[in-house]
Structure 1
Amino acid sequence: MQDLEIYIRDLKSGAVSGWLESHLDELKLDDNEVSGVVNGSARYQGESLRIALYPGAFGKRFTSLVIEGERLPWSSDLDCARSAWRAMDTEIRCSPGDWKEGEPVEAEKWWRLDHRGEQQVVWN
């Protein structure tokens, strides 16, 4: 199982489903109001995907999006973040890709994509 995870700042109603519907089949995701965890599903190249939105990640302004499955439409968190940024036009952040669960994150650099471009930044 593979996964992609990005963080979306100031998520607007319907923005994730609006973006994903052009990349996935059979999308079932009600993101009209994300006040708590939202679970959804979709298919990509015939494989089932699980989708979850977690509001309040890294402070109240970001929502974590996790997509899990055997095949994914993007090869990395950064590729996924780039696609999301183009579609949603709001700040998107993601891990640089070398972090593993359980490792400290205090000084970790994250990719930030926004109107200033792509930059590696410390989260805080």
Structure 2
Amino acid sequence: MQPDIEIYLLSCPTERIISWLEQDFSVLDMRKPSDIATKLHLDWNGRDIPVTILEQAAGKRFTSVWFDSEQTPWESDMECAKRAFEALQCEVRCNYQGWQEDGQEDPDLWWRINANGEGPYIWR
């Protein structure tokens, strides 16, 4: 189990991301600490999951969605990314190897899902 989940969405407005989250979660709290950040507390099966949506997280076109909890509906970033792509139909990227205690993963190796399919991707 991962300690958190993070995905990156290409050219996907925050409002659409929130609408997607509302399909599987109840929004307990939402605030906008800045023009590019939205912080939410979501309820999933009685669990409070803090989420940060950060626009322009990787260049101007990518938005990060970070679930700061190990208790999400997904076992991995990749599982979350697949669900996000199904719902939003915008390109999604996530860490290819997931989180590992020893830190031996390649920081440039990502998993990319878009209309052309999915697979490993070197993101620099």
Please confirm whether the aligned pair reaches a TM-score higher than 0.5, indicating the same fold: yes
1: CA distance, partners of 2:116 / 2:53: 25
Closer, same or farther in 2 for the Cα pair 1:92/1:19, shift >3 Å?
same
Closer, same or farther in 2 for the Cα pair 1:10/1:27, shift >3 Å?
farther
Closer, same or farther in 2 for the Cα pair 1:57/1:104, shift >3 Å?
farther
Give the TM-score, by structure 2 length.
0.83
Percent of pairs identical after alignment? 30
1: CA distance, partners of 2:107 / 2:69: 30
Partner of 1:64: 64
Closer, same or farther in 2 for the Cα pair 1:9/1:27, shift >3 Å?
farther
Aligned-CA RMSD value: 2.6
Deviations 1:15-42 (A, max 9, x none): 11111111112354468xx842111111
User: Superposed, which structure 2 residues align to 1:1-124 within 5 Å?
Assistant: 2-29=3-30, 35-99=35-99, 108-124=108-124
Mapped contact 2:25–2:43 kept (Cα < 8 A): yes
Which ranges in structure 2 are unaligned for 5 or more consecutive residues? none
Deviations 1:53-81 (A, max 9, x none): 11112211101100122511111100100
Give the TM-score, by structure 1 length.
0.83
Closer, same or farther in 2 for the Cα pair 1:30/1:82, shift >3 Å?
farther
Letter in 2 for 1:51: V
Closer, same or farther in 2 for the Cα pair 1:27/1:84, shift >3 Å?
farther
Q: SS of the counterpart of 1:75?
A: coil
